[in-house]
Amino acid sequence: MLRSFIEVAPDSHFPIQNLPYGVFRPRTGGGQPKIGVAIGNYVLDLAVLEEAGYLKSTEAAPIRIWSEPSLNAFMALGRTVWKAAREEIQSLLANDNPKLRDNAELRARALVPRTDVDMLLPVEIGDYTDFYASRDHAANVGTMFRGKDNALMPNWLHLPVGYHGRASSIVVSGTDIRRPLGQRKPPEAAAPMFGPSRELDFELEVGCLIGKGNELGCPVPITHAEEHIFGLVLVNDWSARDIQSWEYQPLGPFLAKNFATSISPWVVPLAALEPFRISGEIQEPQPLPYLRHNGPHSFDIQLEVYLKSESMQQPERISAGNFRHLYWSMAQQIAHHTSSGCNLRVGDMLGSGTISGPRKESRGCMLELTWRGTEPLRLGSREQRVWLEDGDQLTLSGWCQGDGYRVGFGEATGRILPSSL
């Protein structure tokens, strides 16, 4: 097994097999944002290695790629450069390579404790599309609102349903979330009212970041769809259920979804997930030809959600699921998204939609966990929740379990603040 000269605990999310990319800034002293990779408890400063002439894979770029404030310029270089850079970085960190291992001065400058940095939004996200790709989630929500016999809409098993989200309100993990304001109309009310959402929810998702775009009018064949994916992040697409239930007809989510979307700061390259590739869920009826897969197209990514209220000493796990439960794959989402001729661009993000599994504990939002408020969620012995309350902190986590190592995403965390009204 490949090992690093840097000590990495078996349960760390960031072994040498992972090397996720992120944008960071020193916590003290300021300075410009730079790009690094996570390795154990450290960030490897790629700008320092670039300056020292250790990263040959990006030398031909017209700018200093690793000193950029986002990953976009690196992503735009394409898969050949992504592969070469990853191999170069892994080689420098390997326990049998003395180049960085035995250079104490360079190590001191290039390896920064993760506790000493602030993580920033890793990508400039131009467009954001959110899908509805989990059958268990769609069936649960449909059952609540339309009954079991009409849980799935007629189109659901034939195409990946989605909507265009709001990229400007995507924030990095650790950003506080202000409770949104909007119109809502309770069933017993004669007219709508304006005020803070009372049914605030989280959504456990995974997002893929586009590293290679397509020209307007040129669909991406499903056989080449994954070539356009740079990497994956955790996504919490916060949702105001009461605002959404009033506003979504007939055009879909708007204010209920555009106030905040949290993502994890580390982008796990698709290459790091290859050892965990698995077959997805069986699709019946068979999709139309442009959506048909060849070979395994999903990944075994364990997902968890933790909630910590203001009165709790430790967070409590409230959900445990898996990425494998998605019905529509990332490749199918890309193939369908571009089938109209829509052009994806470097830095665009596609969200999976809420990921839920077949068991109650694997449901990926409060709407399902509490079954629309009829089954309150118990926290310890003294608290319970139907919806999220002010002061609650939600933490999403995810990882793939290897033989003696993990390839993880870190966390996507957000704390609810009171509304501005």
Catalytically active residues are 137
Calculate the alpha carbon distances from 403 to 7, 73, 342 in Å: 17, 34, 41
Q: Say if residues 30 and 419 touch (Cβ distance below 8 Å).
A: no
**Residue 147 backbone dihedrals phi, psi, to 5 degrees:** 95, 155
Residue 412: is it exposed, middle or buried by C-beta count within 10 angstroms (0-12/13-18/19+)?
A: buried
> Alpha carbon of 261 to those of 119, 130, 183, 372, 417: distances in Å?
16, 11, 20, 22, 15
User: Is residue 250 exposed (0-12), middle (13-18) or buried (19+ Cβ within 10 Å)?
Assistant: exposed
Chain center to CA of 35: 19
In eight-state DSSP terms, residue 274 is G
Q: In this structure, what token pair is assigned to residue 88? A: 């170069």
> Are residues 384 and 223 in contact, defined by beta-carbon separation less than 8 angstroms?
no
Beta strands in 111-160 (DSSP E): 111-113, 117-120, 128-131
